[in-house]
Structure formats: structure tokens, C-alpha cells
Amino acid sequence: MTDVAQAVRRALEEDIGTGDVTSQACVPADRRATGFFIGRQRLILAGTEVLPLMFDDPHLCKHDGDTVSDGEIIAEVHGPARRLLECERTALNFLQRLSGVATLARAFAEQVKGTNCQVLDTRKTTPCLRVLEKRAAAAGGVTNHRMGLFDAILIKNNHISAAGGVKQALENARASSSLPIEIEVRTKAELQAALANGATKLLLDNLTPTEAEEWIREISGRATVEISGGVTLQSVRAYAETGADFVSSGAITHSAPAVDISFRLELL
């Protein structure tokens, strides 16, 4: 079973438990209906891949990455009214959360238009929902960074401390893996050590835009540069204009507000 299917199964089990007692008590078992998912604000859609895992043959009127206006129908679902009702909240939870991520991601992407800088997401995701949240961020127009600890080497400050320094960390990483290597530098001394030891991807963390611009001038194209730490929707443009190749923001996934989507049921 895929990560997405597992997430949907767990979410349904969490909500339905031993049964939707309200629908069972109120709604005849043979009653059929159509349900409409409707946007109630301007948003960027994400998460529609969960709908076929909850409903039979849903009809999508909008797709991931599309802009949805207030009042627009996102999708239609058909089937037993009880089934539609018991899946309603879980489906909305996914769509509202993931579309919130996509909507914030689109705002970040719009902020850096006209620069040569790409916005990256991070691993600051909801446990067990990373695949969905990363896909939502991509639907919004930002670039996925590494999916986890397994697909790229990112040497952070604690790795440097544990390895015994920048030089040792880089040498150890190269000796043990052929994966891409990026290294965080916190001081000018670490910056010089990283460059002297052949680092080609640098992470500058918790610098002001002015400081980042100064460091990037010193790097002078010898390595690609990612800026992270405190990058917000309000500051991302300033960081993008420093000459950085990438800016990353955990806010895209960890602080995205849910958007407003409703579900309307009509009897067949």
C-alpha cells in the first residue's frame, strides 16, 4: 500500500471508528446522493488524489495546481448517502490542509518572480503526510527539496560538530557516499573551510539579506547557495535578490493555514 493510501486509510479509521452512528441513525441505507466540494475562497488546489481512495469514480472539475475561486465546484462524488457523509470530514481535512500548503507555496513562488532564485520546501512536514504535503507544495509552484534523510547529504551544524569540523565532515561524506553533498556554514571561517575543501553546495542559515549578499559576493560563483532560516513571505523577495540560487522556507508546510472548502449534499 502506498504512503498516500495508508494515510487515507488511517484517517478514515480514526474518524469513522466502529461506524458513523449519526448517519446510520438518520439516513436510510438505500438513499443515494451527490456531493459537491466547493471552494469558499480563492485558493490553489491540492490533494485531489485522495478522493478516489474514499469515493467511487469522483469527477474532478478542477485539478491540483489550478486556481479555484469562491463558489467554484472542485469535484463531484456519487454514491450511498451514508458513505458520502462518513467520508465528508476526512476528505475536507485533506483538501483544506493540502490546498492551504499549495496556496501559500504559490504566494512564495509569486514573490520571487523575475529573480534567478528558486523557492524550496523543507522536511518540516506533518508526520506521515510528507508525500502529500510535498506534492501540494509542488502544485503551488515551489521546488521540492530532499524527501527525507535518505536521498541527499545535507551536513548541518550538529553534523559538523560531531564529525570534528568542516573538513572532516566533507571528507567523511565523500568517502562513504556518492550522493549530492550540501553543507551548512555558520561563520566566515566555516565558509572559507568549506570552499577550500571543494564544497559545491552551501547552505547559509540565519543571515540577514545584507549579510547573505556579502557572503554570496565572497563565494563568487564557486558554489551554489541556498539561504534558510527565518525566510518568510515578507522577506523571501529580499533574500532572492541577494544572488542566492535557492531560498528554503519551512513555513510553506508547517505554517500554512487551511483554506475554506465546503461539501454540499444533494439527493439523487
CATH of domain 3-103+257-267: 3.90.1170.20
Catalytic residue among 184, 190, 213, 226: 184
pLDDT at 268: 87
* Structure confidence at residue 1 (pLDDT): 60
CATH architecture of 110-254: Alpha-Beta Barrel (3.20)
Judge contact between 60 and 95, C-beta under 8 A. Answer: no
- Confirm whether 222 is a catalytic residue: no
pLDDT of residue 108: 98
Q: What is the pLDDT of residue 244?
A: 98
Judge whether 266 counts as a catalytic residue: no
124 given a catalytic annotation: yes
* Domains of the chain by residue range: 3-103+257-267, 110-254
**Catalytic choice (32, 123, 124, 167):** 124
Collect contacts of 199-202 with beta carbons under 8 A, ≥24 apart. Answer: 199/170, 199/223, 200/224, 201/226, 202/226
pLDDT on residue 116 = 95
Encode the chain (268 residues) as per-residue pLDDT tens digits: 689 999 999 999 999 999 999 999 999 999 999 999 999 999 999 999 999 999 999 999 999 999 999 999 999 999 999 999 999 999 999 999 999 999 999 999 999 999 999 999 999 999 999 999 999 999 999 999 999 999 999 999 999 999 999 999 999 999 999 999 999 999 999 999 999 999 999 999 999 999 999 999 999 999 999 999 989 999 999 999 999 999 999 999 999 999 999 999 999 8
Q: What is the pLDDT of residue 2?
A: 87
Instruction: Please give the single-letter amino acid code of residue 248.
Output: S
76: exposed, middle or buried (C-beta count within 10 Å: 0-12, 13-18, 19+)? middle
Task: Examine the residue annotation and report whether 182 is marked as an active-site residue of this protein.
Answer: no
Catalytic residue among 32, 40, 89, 167: 89
Longest dimension (CA), the chain: 74
62 tagged catalytic: no
Which residues contact residue 165 at a Cβ distance below 8 angstroms, ignoring those fewer than 6 apart? 193
Annotated catalytic residue, options 156, 167, 174, 186: 156
Contacts of 126 (CB under 8 A, 6+ apart): 97, 133, 253
What pLDDT shows up at residue 233?
A: 97
pLDDT tens per residue across span 113-150 = 999 999 999 999 999 999 999 999 999 999 999 999 99
Tens of pLDDT, residue by residue over 159-199, are 999 999 999 999 999 999 999 999 999 999 999 999 999 99
pTM of the model: 0.96
